[in-house]
Amino acid sequence: MTRLHVSFTGITSASILTEPWITITMLDKKVSRTKLLISGFLISIGIILFLIARSRMIPEYDIENCVDCVHYTSRVNDMVHKWDHVDGNPQFFQYALMRSCRGQVLSSGACPKFRREFRKDPARYMKETQNPYDACVSIKACQ
């Protein structure tokens, strides 16, 4: 049986999953070079797979921005559906855009950006706000 001593930068006897820098010291000299090469190769493959997976993750800022946009667009949609006679009225759509800007969306500073994008083409976005996520994708707030 091969015995390994694993130590971490500045810490000993810690979990491998929580610390990225690992030093492995062989206590038995009977381990073949092939086993060391295979284990090094497998560790390298694991690191490469981790880096690839990490690069594909959506940044936290993008997720928050998307959620804020969907929430804001849902409020606009609720206001439009609350009043039956205003469907297709660009003035009411402008009013709904201004009135829905409150709370977390306002304090995060994202609201003016969303409002500016929706005001570029009110006729198009009045219809798209019926599905808030699609509207946010079209103004590039969501991926």
- In this predicted model, which residue has the larger pLDDT, 105 or 23? 105
Mean pLDDT (the chain) is 75
Predicted local confidence at residue 11, as pLDDT: 44
The pLDDT of residue 66: 87
DSSP 8-state code for residue 86: G
Place of tokens 């940044």: 59
Q: What is the pLDDT of residue 4?
A: 52
Longest dimension (CA), the chain: 84
pLDDT attached to residue 81: 82
For residue range 28-59, what is the model confidence (pLDDT) as tens digits? 555 567 777 787 888 888 888 777 766 665 56
Distance between CA 110 and CA 70 in Å, rounded?
12
Task: Give the whole-angstrom CA distance, residue 129 versus residue 92.
Answer: 13
- For the chain, the domains span 4-55, 60-138
Task: Tell me the mean pLDDT in the region 80-104.
Answer: 83
Tens-digit pLDDT profile for residues 107-137: 778 888 888 888 898 888 888 888 888 989 8
3-state DSSP call for residue 109? coil
Q: How far apart are CA 63 and CA 59, in angstroms?
A: 7
pLDDT of residue 24: 53
With a cut of 70, say whether residue 93 has pLDDT above it. yes
Alpha-carbon distance of 103 to 111, in angstroms, equals 10
pLDDT for position 104: 75
